[in-house]
Amino acid sequence: MMSQSHTKLLCLCIAALSFSASARAQETNAATKSTDWVETIKGEVAALPDRFFEDAKVTYGNSDNIAALLGAGLLSAGMNNSSADDRIAEHFEEHDSFNEFGDEALDILGSPLTQASIAFLYSMLTLDESGSIHHQCARTVQRALALNTVSFFTLKAARHNDTPNGKSWAWPSGHTSSSFVVASVLHEYYGLKVGIPAYIFAGAVGYRMMDTGDHWASDVAFGATLGWVIGHTVAKNQKAPKVAGFDVMPYFGNYNGPAVGISLTRRF
């Protein structure tokens, strides 16, 4: 029979071996996850050009989107060329709405870089749940923000006007458009229960841009429209079922007779 001291020693050895095995397992899991992250990032970077052009095509190839953007552009030009922008800017000069903390918080959280970083990090943290709505939403936010960033920087370079406080590249507001991109994608994936608070936040970001003199009202108006168009379009395209590149749509027959089924459509 084992003595009491031998029994204690054996228990200590088993505990030590168990701890060592657990530590090795954790190291292995961490290494595996790290490898998965690296491989995923490599794949995302390689697929970025194709995904970008796909999103650009579906967004700017839609006549309704072009009409909405043209309408917002005309409204924005009218505001900028009339006294509307000046009057709104003068109002905000006389009435500050945010304290220093609120101003900085909205500036940071409304930044396209901050939003893209959060979406990327969340997509990596949910990598093991690649089929979940949360992971898919995070990936869609990244894609929509990428298209939005290129879009608003292109427009800024083309317009190249100054903000009320004298900064360059005013039109359109990148903070506003990015915030509305995120709100629109969240609306598509989670409905109005998440969409409404997200839109309120996006509106607060746009309001802050005018309140600080960082943007004219016309910059914010067009930026909101741009973000709304891109966010909804990219999200709908990612959610829509596809077969060999064709959209799967419901079919209800025609004038020859009623029928129920599915149809495959594709825009060229």
Residue 126 has pLDDT above 80, yes or no: yes
Residue-wise over 166-201: b if at least 16 C-beta within 10 A, else e? eeebbbbbbbbbbbbbbbbbbbbbeeeeebeebbeb
Structure tokens belonging to residue 8: 């204690």
- The domain spans of the chain are 46-242
Burial class (CB in 10 A: 0-12, 13-18, 19+), 11: exposed
Q: Structure pTM?
A: 0.77
Q: What is the pLDDT of residue 247?
A: 53
pLDDT tens, residue by residue, 258-268 = 555 555 555 55
DSSP H or E stretch at residue 260 = strand 257-265
pLDDT tens, residue by residue, 185-202 = 999 999 999 999 999 999
Residue that is written with structure tokens 């007779």 in the block: 257
> Does the domain spanning 46-242 belong to CATH 1.10.3430?
no
pLDDT tens, residue by residue, 135-158 = 999 999 999 999 999 999 999 999
Residue 120 has pLDDT above 60, yes or no: yes
pLDDT tens, residue by residue, 228-243 = 999 999 999 998 665 5
Residue 39 has pLDDT above 80, yes or no: no
**Between 254 and 175, where is the model more confident?**
175
Q: What is the pLDDT of residue 252?
A: 46
